Amino acid sequence: MSDLNPFDAAKRAAMREEILRDGLLADKFLSQDPDVPTYGLNLACAWPFPVSWRASYEKMAAQLRALGPEVYVYPFEFTHITLVTLVSFSRHLNPPRALVSKLDAIIPQLLAVLAPLFDENSSERVRSFDLQPQSPVLARGAGILPLLNPDGEVQRLRRRVVELLRDHPALHEELNARGMNVPGIIHSTVLRLRQPPADQCKFLAGF
């Protein structure tokens, strides 16, 4: 993405109106079976966030947890930023062993296809990039921390991942069938709900 914040005042107001109209949603994992086995594969960074962010994150996390027992806030050690979802966790609950073996088997090919982005001597190697956290945003199903990337390196990385995979149609088709997704924004999910809050207005006022 560019250095423009996709969550300006108008967008935040529209999201708040949607919540007021349609309500907040419980996360299906937390509300049903938080320990269900699942399979997923992401290209991610900042796992966990940089140490320099820790104090600010812990302060924010404490404020979010104070919203009520319905709230689950990611511990600092579990924070991360998904750049590309290659295999969706949410689509592969209780995966049979045969499927796990099948998906494991494509990882070497996937690494080879994406190697130009990570090989030390490659002209396409990902450059170090700066991420700038913004104030958290509440959507119906989660609280997210948006991030800006002024030099556009994340956008370039995402674009090249898709281009490289398209050069290998069978692999690309398999990943698409498994829920491959390139997020439209740079963000980290920091909050989910075990159940909708009893007092939604109070929850929104405190967020």
Residue 166 and residue 168: Cα distance in Å, rounded?
Answer: 5
SS3 state at 181: strand
pLDDT of residue 2: 44
* Mean pLDDT of the region 151-169: 97
Extract the tokens encoding 154: 């994340």
Give 183's Cβ-side CA count (13 Å radius). Answer: 20
How much of the chain is in helix, strand and coil states, percent to nearest 5? 45, 15, 40
Given a cut of 70, whether residue 181 has pLDDT beyond it is yes
pLDDT of residue 174: 97
Beta strands in 46-176 (DSSP E): 71-73, 81-87, 132-133, 137-138, 143-148
| Cα-Cα-Cα-Cα dihedral sign, residues 85, 105, 176, 28 | negative
pTM of whole model > 0.75? yes
pLDDT of residue 121: 94
**pLDDT tier for residue 1 given thresholds of 50, 70 and 90:** very low
pLDDT in tens, 78-87: 999 999 999 9
Residue ranges of domains in the chain, CATH in brackets: 9-206 (3.90.1140)
| Whole-number percent of the chain with pLDDT over 70 | 98
What is the overall mean pLDDT for the chain?
95
pLDDT in tens, 15-67: 999 999 999 999 989 988 888 999 999 999 999 999 999 999 999 999 999 99
Count CB-CB contacts under 10 A for residue 81.
20
